[in-house]
């Protein structure tokens, strides 16, 4: 990743088809568009690739999460369980529908710890939202069992993990709804974009309407369409969708490249017994967009990250100190720094979590390093990179 590294003639061809019509909006203008419906085309291809009945293309991964929550009728005062390690979009989407994000510890999968989730379930809990961070997944079987036991929804945030699988099912298709991001730094990109997938006809219908101001999309006259319920604008443009149409055709090739580069580096690092690689749940296959492992101590992980940076090894992430992906820097959430007044239910729900103990998460995140796996590397570049990492690790282990 990211997919833009390999932009080429296919992306140009698909976007030119849209530019030649001059119709950049995904709805309406049936005549001038000359049969070009790129958002619909990508939705059909995505549903087929992800082995589900329905796909709804949206303006971003954040939009996908927001629409997924709204489509399942999660709203004011409802609680949604999310991991302490995720991108801020996860809790932003929850807040946007008036619900309460409940932060829960991660384990050595770098995703939700099912035991911690079980303890966090309460009378207001409506959904569990595992976030498949850095290309790999949570223990979805354990989380699905909890959902069945407590009558909860399982909403997969697979924004960083497209192309991975669990028990033979594409990530995103295991739960009630799955969400993807196609922003500029994802394995496949639309520039800006996202999607949700589901096998539930009701949720899909809600998503279709809600993401387009409530339009019911019945008939051929957009101005006469009904609005059965309130909606908002989370539409993607045809130009962004056209890029996605091309990129989705290349997904399997991209995953194969990532796996090759990932495997070369991992093989070199396996000489160090002190390293513990991130756990991939049994039955899971990651999408190889990141290589993540744990060092013996937090101090050592930080020193190694600094040394790697000085040696010119880019793309090495120490998430423990990251502003956007780990709870320690989310003061704007925990202190409720909002431009508008938040509902009292949300204020109370978040306030109650401010002093939560995430020592278990700190144990894993403090010792973790994650290496971005690029698509554009030549094999010689991958080997040189692996050797640099080995040299620096040898100095610290």
Q: How far is CA 143 from CA 19, 73, 224, 230, in A?
A: 45, 20, 43, 32
Query: How far is C-alpha 103 from the geometric centre of its chain's CA atoms?
Result: 17
Kindly name the residue from 38, 126, 186, 374 that is annotated as catalytic: 186
Distances (CA, A) of 385 to 274, 307, 377: 20, 14, 10
Ramachandran assignment for 110, one of left (phi > 0), alpha (psi -120 to 50 degrees), beta (any other): left
Say how many C-beta atoms besides its own lie within 10 A of residue 129's C-beta.
31
Q: Which of 349, 159, 187 is nearest to 256 (CA)?
A: 187
| Strand, coil or helix: 362 | helix
Query: Contact 137/285 with Cβ under 8 angstroms?
Result: no
Of 57, 112, 58, which is closest to residue 101 (Cα–Cα)?
A: 112
> In this structure, are residues 52 and 173 in contact, taking their beta carbons and an 8 Å threshold?
yes
325 near 205, Cβ under 8 Å? Answer: no
Query: How are strands ordered across the β-sheet holding 316-317?
Result: 276-277, 290-294, 368-372, 316-317
Distances (CA, A) of 130 to 6, 53, 160, 253: 30, 22, 12, 26
Tokens of 198: 């589901």
Q: Is residue 186 annotated as a catalytic residue, yes or no?
A: yes
Instruction: Concatenate the DSSP letters of all residues of 41-54 into one string.
Output: HHHHHHHHHTT-SE
Report the half-sphere exposure of 265 (CA within 13 A, side-chain side). 29
- The number of CA neighbours under 13 Å toward the Cβ of 261 is 26
Could you give the residue numbers annotated as active site?
186
């Amino acid at each position: 990743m990211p997919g833009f590294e390999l932009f080429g003639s296919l992306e140009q061809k698909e976007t030119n088809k849209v530019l030649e019509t001059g119709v950049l909006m995904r709805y309406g203008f049936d005549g001038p568009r000359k049969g070009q419906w790129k958002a619909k085309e990508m939705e059909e291809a995505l549903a087929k690739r992800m082995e589900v009945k329905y796909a709804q293309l949206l303006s971003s991964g954040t939009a996908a999460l927001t629409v997924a929550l709204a489509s399942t009728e999660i709203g004011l005062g409802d609680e949604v369980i999310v991991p302490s390690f995720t991108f801020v979009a996860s809790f932003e989407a929850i807040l946007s529908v008036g619900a309460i994000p409940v932060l829960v510890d991660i384990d050595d999968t770098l995703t939700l710890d099912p035991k911690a989730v079980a303890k966090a379930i309460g009378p207001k809990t409506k959904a569990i939202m595992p976030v498949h961070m850095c290309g790999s997944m949570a223990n979805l079987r354990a989380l699905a069992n909890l959902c069945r036991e407590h009558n909860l929804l399982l909403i997969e945030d697979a924004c960083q993990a497209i192309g991975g699988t669990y028990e033979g099912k594409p990530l995103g298709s295991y739960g009630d709804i799955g969400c993807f991001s196609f922003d500029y730094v994802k394995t496949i990109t639309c520039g800006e974009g996202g999607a949700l997938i589901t096998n539930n006809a009701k949720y899909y219908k809600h998503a279709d309407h809600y993401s387009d101001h409530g339009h019911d999309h019945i008939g051929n006259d957009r101005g006469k369409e009904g609005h059965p319920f309130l909606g908002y604008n989370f539409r993607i443009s045809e130009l962004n969708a056209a890029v996605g149409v091309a990129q989705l055709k290349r997904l399997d090739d991209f995953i194969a490249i990532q796996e090759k580069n990932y495997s070369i580096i991992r093989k070199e690092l396996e000489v160090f017994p002190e390293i513990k690689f991130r756990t991939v749940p049994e039955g899971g296959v990651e999408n190889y967009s990141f290589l993540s492992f744990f060092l013996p101590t937090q101090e050592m992980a930080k020193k190694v990250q600094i040394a790697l940076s000085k040696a010119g090894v880019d793309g090495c992430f120490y998430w423990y100190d990251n502003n956007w992906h780990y709870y320690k820097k989310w003061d704007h959430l925990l202190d409720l720094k909002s431009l508008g007044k938040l509902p009292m239910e949300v204020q109370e729900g978040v306030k109650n979590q401010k002093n939560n103990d995430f020592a278990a998460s700190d144990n894993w995140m403090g010792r973790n390093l994650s290496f971005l796996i690029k698509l554009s590397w030549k094999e010689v570049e991958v080997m040189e990179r692996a050797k640099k990492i080995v040299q620096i690790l040898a100095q610290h282990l």
